[in-house]
Structure 1
Amino acid sequence: MKQITKQLLVVVPILTVAAALWWYFAPANPHNPDALWQLISQRCVVGMEQQSNPAPCTKVDEAQGYVTLKDRNGPLQYLVMPVAKITGTESPALLAANAPKFFALAWDERHLLAEKYGQPIADSALSLAINSEYGRTQNQMHIHISCLRTDIRSALNTLAPQLTDQWQNVELDGSDYQIRSLSESELHAESSFKRIARELGVEQDDMGKYGVALTTLPDNRLALLALRASWFGLEKASPELLQDHSCSILTPAP
């Protein structure tokens, strides 16, 4: 019996670690992880080049290196994605000297939601999010432009007075985010991915562990949020969870 107990004391921790590693690295879902890339490369770009028709994308801008697409989830959600094959936050292409400023480009496309909605939408109701390598479902980089959850809006309003242009550790929605304020000119001056790598000292090999989000603060500053996936934990770094694709923040609907 003692021998069996000793063996269990060895085996159980090993199984626990193995299960945690599997959960951490397991794909988020079993569906085709290349669906978005196939749509971009085989339909949107080809259609734009051959027929000046970006469908099913709403826009193909090869000069600036991105497309926009109405997501199937939610009445207003859009995606901004690279024209090039860039899998996600782990891609070295995002830190290259000539990399497009994708978060700035996505923020500039937020008007799409208001156009779809049929009336203006306050920036305070909107947000951007990209999930980490471990929290995404597709192997083509995609930034979600969607509504912010009402409770997250309230939490950020409360936090706003203490937020500065220096990174701070803040618990938000049960996750340990790093947040700093940002001006719109700063957003457009430097890629948000490069800023995170530089200011937080993140090595290229670790960038894939990060999910990133952007929204506004009550005084019209922007808030840049970074969330790191954790080892042996339940954190896959999916800032998309801060969003509400049903856009209840806009209710009552017109």
Structure 2
Amino acid sequence: MLSEPPKAFVAAVLKTTRSDALRGRIRLLALGVCSLWVLAVGAVAAIDSNALWTIVHGPCTFNETHFKSPAPCARINLKDGEAGGWAVLKDIVGRTQFLLIPTRRLSGMEDPLLGGDELPNYWIPAWATRKLVAANAKKALARDEIAMAINGAGARSQNQLHIHVDCVRPAVRDELRKRASEIGTDWADFRMLGQNYRARRIDGEEPQPDPFRLLAEDKRSLPLRDDSLAVIGASFADGAPGFIAIAQQAPGGATHLEDLQDHFCKVADE
């Protein structure tokens, strides 16, 4: 496994260097080293299940703390410390896909803290990430053209909780537009495009209450480690903004609701 960048060394050099110009050069050098290091991590991400955690906990947090730059992440929020923070990282797959990643260690859907009071609602900053998706798509996207998803414990490659944020598949968007009136504010069985799910409506501009908590309150969805969860933007017939939460359960969490997304973002080409 690749080790973290030499944080203590760089910090010590910055502290003892009096020349502002030299300090600036050291900052640039450190950022460059971290960027090259992240490229190396990305190259082995397929076999290193801790790659996302290593990037966020390493250079993203370090650079924000010391240089006020989230690089190589696109965004990072540490105002509540690492325990309450989050980062946004551009995924290497697709032109528009981003990942919302907590800055505290959380494994995934099986983590016992999900659905409780201790964690922030990560779906709110994940939803705000849609602006980065639209920027990369070079097109304004409707709220029902953005999907957020977390895969089940048995259907992921990384052992750090992360929410995929990207364009929704056009067929999923069209199906939900036609059938949104069938979805109420309680979890219920919902069959779509040949697959069985459970779905419910969430009202409001932002995804709250926390969708993890809403899923944990549904006894049929327990244990959460067997679930995958997607939250897709919606505009309902009454004009109200909201979301459609979709869950799927499989033994061992072998369920992959990232499949509701389109990493080619074909909706941007319509």
Counterparts of 2:67 and 2:89, CA distance in 1: 18
* Same amino acid, percent of matched pairs: 27
Measured after TM superposition, the shift of residue 115 of structure 1 is: 2.4
Residue 176 and residue 230 in structure 1: after superposition, are their counterparts in 2 closer, same or farther (change >3 A)?
farther
Counterparts of 2:129 and 2:258, CA distance in 1: 17
Deviations 1:221-251 (A, max 9, x none): 31011111137xxx82110001100001111
Counterparts of 2:195 and 2:226, CA distance in 1: 14
Query: Structure 2 stretches of 5 or more lacking a match?
Result: 1-44
User: Alignment partner for residue 236 of structure 1, among 254, 257, 261?
Assistant: 254
Matched residue, 2:188: 168
Query: Structure 1 stretches of 5 or more lacking a match?
Result: 1-28
What residue identity is the alignment partner of 2:215? I
Residue 81 and residue 30 in structure 1: after superposition, are their counterparts in 2 closer, same or farther (change >3 A)?
closer
Matched residue, 2:213: 194
Measured after TM superposition, the shift of residue 94 of structure 1 is: 2.0
Give the superposed CA RMSD.
Answer: 2.0
Determine if the alignment matches structure 1 residue 225 to structure 2 residue 242.
no
Counterparts of 1:166 and 1:49, CA distance in 2: 42
Residue 185 and residue 247 in structure 1: after superposition, are their counterparts in 2 closer, same or farther (change >3 A)?
closer
Give the TM-score of the pair, scaled to structure 1.
Answer: 0.80
Residue 166 of structure 1 aligns to a residue whose secondary structure is: coil
Measured after TM superposition, the shift of residue 186 of structure 1 is: 7.3
Give the TM-score of the pair, scaled to structure 2.
Answer: 0.75
Determine if the alignment matches structure 1 residue 58 to structure 2 residue 74.
yes
Counterparts of 1:115 and 1:68, CA distance in 2: 14
Matches of residues 109-188 of structure 1 in structure 2 within 5 Å? 109-184=129-204, 187-188=207-208
Measured after TM superposition, the shift of residue 67 of structure 1 is: 0.3
Larger RCO (CA within 8 A; separation ≥ 6) = 1
Residue 88 of structure 1 aligns to a residue whose secondary structure is: coil
Determine if the alignment matches structure 1 residue 94 to structure 2 residue 114.
yes
Determine if the alignment matches structure 1 residue 214 to structure 2 residue 226.
no
Deviations 1:148-206 (A, max 9, x none): 11111122122212111121211224332100111126733x22111111133554xx2
Counterparts of 2:205 and 2:100, CA distance in 1: 20
Residue 196 of structure 2 aligns to a residue whose secondary structure is: strand
The size of the alignment, in residue pairs, is 218
Matches of residues 30-45 of structure 1 in structure 2 within 5 Å? 31-45=47-61
Deviations 1:5-31 (A, max 9, x none): xxxxxxxxxxxxxxxxxxxxxxxx961
Counterparts of 2:146 and 2:93, CA distance in 1: 16
What residue identity is the alignment partner of 2:244? A
Residue 64 of structure 2 aligns to a residue whose secondary structure is: helix
Measured after TM superposition, the shift of residue 93 of structure 1 is: 2.2
Residue 134 of structure 1 aligns to a residue whose secondary structure is: helix
Runs of 4+ that moved beyond 4 A: none
Matched residue, 2:263: 245
**In the alignment, is the contact (CA less than 8 A) between 2:221 and 2:249 conserved in 1?**
no
